[in-house]
Amino acid sequence: MTVGPTIILHTNAPAVAMKLLRDKHPELSVYPCDSYAGLAALIEQTNAEVVYSVRFDGTARFPRSALLASPTVKWVSVGGSGTDHLGPWDPEKVTVTNAAGVAADMMAEYALGAMLSFSLGLRNFARHQRARTWIAGTVEPIQGKTLLLLGLGRTGQALARRAKALGLTTLGVRAHPTPTTNVDEAHGIEALPGLWGRADFITCCVPLLDATRGLIGAAAFAAMKPTAVLIDVSRGGVVEEAALLSALDGGRIKGAALDVFSTEPLPADHPLWRYENVIVTPHCSSVYEGWEEKALDMFADNLSRYRRGEKLLGIVDPRRGY
């Protein structure tokens, strides 16, 4: 006899997920789904109550309605931090949780690596290496520089901790500012006009919401230092790409490291590919060996709470995005 809720593991690595969950919840009925197209039918066939879901094939085709329109799905557990591909949803009908923090340290290291790449001029050295030319090179320290953190969630705080260890001044912005460890100044979003020009590095790690869409636009770029570097590990849409292109063309910033884009995959003819001072990565700053096992462990532990009738961890408010 089946005990407890029926589970669907919606991921492109179902074998790993199935083994881990069966080890921790062997008595449950668990079904794998490794495609977007097949999710709706499997939910209907199994009357699934709980779906663990990873956005593994982009946002545009994600089967949001299969999850939110289902009369049986009560809980969607997102195997990452971002939930903009699901919103909006009615929290009275379905609970959405995320795995916030599962990649915070890795994303912080990505951002720090990008900062060091620009301060050390590594791309310029690589270009001369390919040409086999010896130049009179110089490097620049990041110690003493100022980092502006847009978002002080787990990723922002992980980066702030590393930045302080390297001697940077840290400015942070969040919806409800409070004193934060390793952040020298915490501000509300309304303070941004006075903060852009103080920063040498600007790291964007906020969720995509109505309040953050287009947050970094023409006015922001106009206020930045010409030596500023933008690092975006948030979601496509927080940075206005047209304004970014204009800033790059006008030399208004030093460069950018971009892991997220309004359209993903980034089209082959997109102009962002052509800039020597832009690092383009394929939305992978949170993807590292073992990340999904860690996210599944978090889900399995939360599933134990669900079965005991306890409050879930990581419940996302659809209005706030976290």
> Strand order of the sheet with strand 185-187?
185-187, 169-173, 146-150, 201-204, 229-232, 255-258, 278-280
Q: Is the peptide bond before 14 cis (omega within 30 degrees of 0)?
A: no
**Torsion angle (degrees, nearest 10) of CA 263, 265, 268, 272:** 60
User: Is 140 marked active-site?
Assistant: no
- CA 285, chain centre distance (Å): 8
SS3 257: strand
User: Is 109 marked active-site?
Assistant: no
**Torsion angle (degrees, nearest 10) of CA 179, 113, 256, 288:** -90
Sign of CA dihedral 11, 16, 22, 24: negative
Q: Which residues pair with 186 in a beta bridge?
A: 172
User: Is 264 marked active-site?
Assistant: yes
Active-site annotation holder among 264, 270, 293, 307 = 264
Active-site annotation holder among 235, 240, 241, 252 = 235
Count other Cβ atoms within 10 Å, centred on residue 146: 20
In whole angstroms, give the CA distance from residue 229 to residue 94: 40
Q: Which residues are the active-site residues?
A: 235, 264, 283
